[in-house]
Structure 1
Amino acid sequence: MPLRRAIPPGQTVSTGFVVAVVGFFSSFPIVLQGLAAMGATEVQAASGLAAAAFSMGLAGIALSLWKGQPISVAWSTPGVAVLAVMATPAGGFSEAVGAFLIAGILTLVAGLVRPIGRLAAAIPPPLAQAMLAGVLVALCTAPFLALAEVPETALPIILTWFIVGRFSGIFAVPAAVVAAFLLTLWTNDFTLTPPDQILSRLTITAPSFTASAVFGIALPLFIVTMATQNIPGIAVLRSFGYTPPPGQMLTGVGAASVASAPFGAPATCLAAITAAMCAGEDSHPDRTLRYWSAVMAGVFYCVLGLFAAVITVVAAAAPPMTLETLAGIALLGVFANSAQAALDKPEYREAAAVTFLVTASGITIIGLSAAVWGLVLGGVVQLAKMLKR
C-alpha cells in the first residue's frame, strides 16, 4: 500500500469527523423511531442502531480504500422513515428483521445482476419521490403537533434548530439534538440511569419470513433506498469527476445490509449529502486524497456505534414527543426536496399526486402498506397516460 494511503491527511480527518457527526446526529432519532415502530425492544433498538453505525462505517472504509474514491456510506434515512409510519408486523421484530434481510439481498442482487439493477433504476423518479414525500407527511407534521401539545418540549428544540440553521444548515439538527439532550437532563434532575454496559452489545434477532413483510416492508425499503440514496449517491460522485462502479458499490452496501440485518439494522446504502461533503474541495485540495475523508467518517461512525446503548437510554428518558420533534425537523429538507422532485415534471404530475396522496393516507389493504399501494396506483395512472399518448 503506498505511503499516501497509509497516513490520512489532517484535513481529511477533520472533514470525516464533521461528516460523521452530521450524518449520525441528524438522523439517529429517525432510526430509533423506525425500529420502535417495527416492534423492537430497547435492547434490540440499541443493537440495531449500533449495527447500522458499524455497517455504514466499515462499508465506507472498505469501499473507499478499495476504489481510492470518497465513497460515503450511510444508513437509509428515507428507508427508516418509511418504517416509522408502518404498523408493527404481526410477527413482531423478527418479521421486520426478515424483511431487512430480504431488502439487503435485493440490493446485493441488483449489484450482481445488471438487468435487475436496471429494473430498479427504471422506476420513475417522480413516483419514488412522491412515495417518499407521502411517507414523510406524518413525520414532518409531528414537531408542530408537539408544539401544540407539549410546547415546553418542542419549542426549545425547534427554536434551536431554527436559530442555528440561519448560520449553518449542516449543524442545525445536531444543535437541536444537543438542546434535546439538555432538556432530557433537566427533566430528569440531571440524573440518568446508565445502561448495564456502556459499550454497545450486538444482539441477534432470529428472522422470520412472511409474504406480507416481503411486499409490505422489504420492497418499499428497497425501492425508496435505491431511488433516494443509492442512485443519487452514485450521481453525486460522478458530478465531482469520479467514476464509481455502480455494480460493485451496490454489491458492497448490499452485503453490508445482509450482514448487519440479523442485529437489527434496517439498510445500509450509498450516501448523497455526505458524499458531496467528502468529494468537495473543502475535503482536501488534492482530489486524489479526498477518499480519506470517507474513510475517516467511517472510523468515527464506528466509534459512535460503540456508544449506541448510551444514546438509546438517553432517548428513552427524553420527555414525550422529543424524538418525534427531532425526526420531523431533520426530515423537513428531505420532504421539501422530495415534493419538488415529485411534482416538477408535468408529464408525471398527476401520477405523482396519486402516489403521494395514497401513501399519505396510511391505508393498508391485504397486508400491503400505503407506500406500496401509492407506487402501484401511481404507476397505473402513469401507464394509462402513456398508452393514451
Structure 2
Amino acid sequence: MSPLARIRATAPPSAVAAGLIAVTVGVTSAAALVFTAARAAGADAREVSSWMLALGVGIAVTCAGLSLRYKAPVVTSWSTPGAALLATSLSGVSMAKAVGAFVFCAALIMVSGLTGWFARIMDRIPVPLASALLGGVLLEFGTGLFSQMGGSFAIAFPVFVLYLVARRLLPRYAVVVALGGGVAASVLTGGWHLERVRLSLAQPVFTAPEFDWKVLISVGVPLFVVTMASQNLPGVAVLRASGYEVPVSPVLTWTGAVQAVLAPFGAFGLNLAAMTAAICTGDGAHPDRQRRYLAAVWAGVFYLCVGLLGATVASLLTAMPHALVLAVAGVGLLATIEASLASALSDPASREAAVVTFLATASGVTLLGVGSAFWGLLAGVLTSVIASAGRRRRAIASAPAPRSEAPGADTPLLDAVEEAPAGGR
C-alpha cells in the first residue's frame, strides 16, 4: 500500500471531520464547567490547566484504545453533569479532599464494571426505548441549528444549505462542506475574535488524595451517580441504538481505572459520551459502519491536543462563535436523530413508552442532581411495565374458558360427570 493510500485509509476526511466536530461540541459545551469546578476547589491557573491535561489524556487513551480494541466508535468524555455538580459542591473543600472524592468515584465505576451489574441492567432495556432516549438527548442540538437562525442567520443558514446540497452531490463529505462553509461565513461576518487566543502548554500538577468520609459521601457518591445515570447510561444507549454491541463491563472498568490513575492530576470523571458519540456513529462519520471507529480514534487525538493546550482552549472558546458550533452539530446529527426516531417508533407495542422516554429526556429535567436521561428512561420503563400488565389482563379476560379433554374433547367436564352411569361414581 502506497503512503498516500495508507493515509486515506487511516484518516478519511469524513472520519477526521466527525472526530473534530465531536471534540469541538464537547469542549465548547462543557469546558467552562470544568474551569468553574476547578476554581470551586481553589485551583490556581496551573492546576486548572492540569485538570484539562489530565482529562484530555484520559479521554484520548480511552477513546483511541477502546475503539481500536472493539473496532467500534467508543467515544468517551468528561462528566458534564459531574462538572456542574462539582462547581456547586466543592466550595470550601480542599484540593486534596476533592481528589480523594475523584479516586473514590473511579473505584465505584470500576466495581460496577467488574461486577457486571450495570451491563445486566442495560441488557433489559428494549431497543426502542434506547433509541428514544438517544433522540431525546440529541433533540436540543437538532433544534439548535434552527434556533440559531434567529440571531445568527448569516452563519447557521449557509451551514444548513451547504449540508443539504452536499448530501446530494458529495454525501460522504456533507458535514465537512458544511463546516467549511460555516467557518467562512463566520469569518466574513466578523464572528471570530482571534485576538483573545493565547498559546500555552499545560503542565501536570500532582495532588496527593486525602480521603475524608464526609467529602466521599457528599461529593464522591453523587459524582458517581450522576456520571452513571446521566452519562454512561445514555452513552451505552447511543452505541446500541447505532447497532454496536460493545461489552459494557470492560469499558466501564477501563474508564474507571484510567480515571483513578489520572485523578491526582485533575481527572474528576471519565465516562462514555452520548451527544458527541452520536456524531461518530452516524453516516456522516464514514459510509462503512465498520470503519466509523476511526472517527472515535481521531476524536481521541483531538482531545489529546485539547489537553496539551489546556490554557489555550479557554481563550479559543471565547474566540469561536457559538452559533457555528451549534449549527454544525445540528447538521452532523440530523441522520442520527432520524434513525433513532424511526427505531423508537418501529414497534407498535412499545410506541407509547418510547414517546414518553423521548419527551421526558428532551425536557431536560433534573431531579436530585440526576439528569433527564435517567428520568426519561425510568418514565419509559414504568410506562412499558404498566402497559404490558394491562395487555396481559385484557388477554386473560378475553381468553375462552378452559375445556376438558376427557371424556370428549368437546364435552364440558360437568356434563360428562352428569352423564356418567351411576356405577361409575
Question: TM-score if structure 1 supplies the norm length?
Answer: 0.70
Larger CA deviation: 298-307 vs 313-322: 298-307
Return the alpha-carbon distance in structure 2 between the equivalents of residues 345 and 126 of structure 1. 7
Return the alpha-carbon distance in structure 2 between the equivalents of residues 295 and 216 of structure 1. 24
SS of the residue corresponding to residue 267 of structure 1 reads strand
- Determine if contact 2:227/2:269 at 8 Å carries over to the other structure: no
Q: Superposition pairs for residues 285-296 of structure 1, below 5 Å?
A: none
- Determine if contact 1:99/1:214 at 8 Å carries over to the other structure: no
Deviation at 1:326, TM superposition (A): 2.5
Letter aligned with residue 223 of structure 1: L
Return the alpha-carbon distance in structure 1 between the equivalents of residues 299 and 322 of structure 2. 32
Deviation at 1:350, TM superposition (A): 0.9
Deviation at 1:315, TM superposition (A): 3.6
Q: 2:61 aligns with which of 50, 58, 76?
A: 58
Q: How many residues align?
A: 360
- Equivalent in the alignment of 2:75: 74
Return the alpha-carbon distance in structure 2 between the equivalents of residues 170 and 102 of structure 1. 44
- Equivalent in the alignment of 2:235: 225
Deviation at 1:63, TM superposition (A): 5.2
Q: String of CA shifts for 1:288-324, please: whole Å, max 9, x gaps.
A: xx99x79975884466444565565334212352322
Return the alpha-carbon distance in structure 2 between the equivalents of residues 232 and 379 of structure 1. 20
- Equivalent in the alignment of 1:343: 345
Larger CA deviation: 35-44 vs 169-178: 35-44
Return the alpha-carbon distance in structure 2 between the equivalents of residues 98 and 26 of structure 1. 33
Q: Superposition pairs for residues 208-287 of structure 1, below 5 Å?
A: 209=219, 214-216=224-226, 218-229=228-239, 234-235=244-245, 247-256=249-258, 259=261, 262-263=266-267, 266-268=270-272
- Equivalent in the alignment of 1:175: 177
Deviation at 1:53, TM superposition (A): 5.1
Q: Superposition pairs for residues 189-200 of structure 1, below 5 Å?
A: 191-197=194-200, 199=201
Deviation at 1:105, TM superposition (A): 5.5
SS of the residue corresponding to residue 344 of structure 1 reads coil
- Equivalent in the alignment of 2:331: 329
- Determine if contact 1:185/1:192 at 8 Å carries over to the other structure: no
Return the alpha-carbon distance in structure 1 between the equivalents of residues 148 and 5 of structure 2. 40
Return the alpha-carbon distance in structure 2 between the equivalents of residues 331 and 72 of structure 1. 15
Return the alpha-carbon distance in structure 1 between the equivalents of residues 346 and 203 of structure 2. 45
Return the alpha-carbon distance in structure 2 between the equivalents of residues 112 and 220 of structure 1. 20
Aligned-pair Cα RMSD in Å: 4.8
Does 1:159 pair with 2:161? Answer: yes
- Equivalent in the alignment of 1:15: 9
Return the alpha-carbon distance in structure 2 between the equivalents of residues 294 and 135 of structure 1. 20
Return the alpha-carbon distance in structure 1 between the equivalents of residues 72 and 309 of structure 2. 24
Deviation at 1:153, TM superposition (A): 2.4
Return the alpha-carbon distance in structure 2 between the equivalents of residues 224 and 192 of structure 1. 38
Return the alpha-carbon distance in structure 2 between the equivalents of residues 98 and 372 of structure 1. 26
Structure 1 pair 313–138 and aligned structure 2 pair: CA distance change class (3 A): same
Return the alpha-carbon distance in structure 2 between the equivalents of residues 307 and 52 of structure 1. 12
Return the alpha-carbon distance in structure 2 between the equivalents of residues 143 and 279 of structure 1. 23
- Equivalent in the alignment of 2:148: 146
Deviation at 1:377, TM superposition (A): 1.8
Return the alpha-carbon distance in structure 2 between the equivalents of residues 194 and 178 of structure 1. 20
SS of the residue corresponding to residue 197 of structure 2 reads coil
Structure 1 pair 275–163 and aligned structure 2 pair: CA distance change class (3 A): closer
Q: 2:21 aligns with which of 17, 21, 26?
A: 26
Structure number, greater radius of gyration: 2
Return the alpha-carbon distance in structure 2 between the equivalents of residues 260 and 269 of structure 1. 18
- Equivalent in the alignment of 1:287: none
Larger CA deviation: 309-318 vs 331-340: 309-318
Return the alpha-carbon distance in structure 2 between the equivalents of residues 297 and 87 of structure 1. 24
SS of the residue corresponding to residue 180 of structure 2 reads helix
Return the alpha-carbon distance in structure 2 between the equivalents of residues 11 and 228 of structure 1. 31
Return the alpha-carbon distance in structure 2 between the equivalents of residues 327 and 93 of structure 1. 31
Identity of aligned residues (%): 25
Question: TM-score if structure 2 supplies the norm length?
Answer: 0.65
- Equivalent in the alignment of 1:354: 356
Structure 1 pair 45–149 and aligned structure 2 pair: CA distance change class (3 A): farther
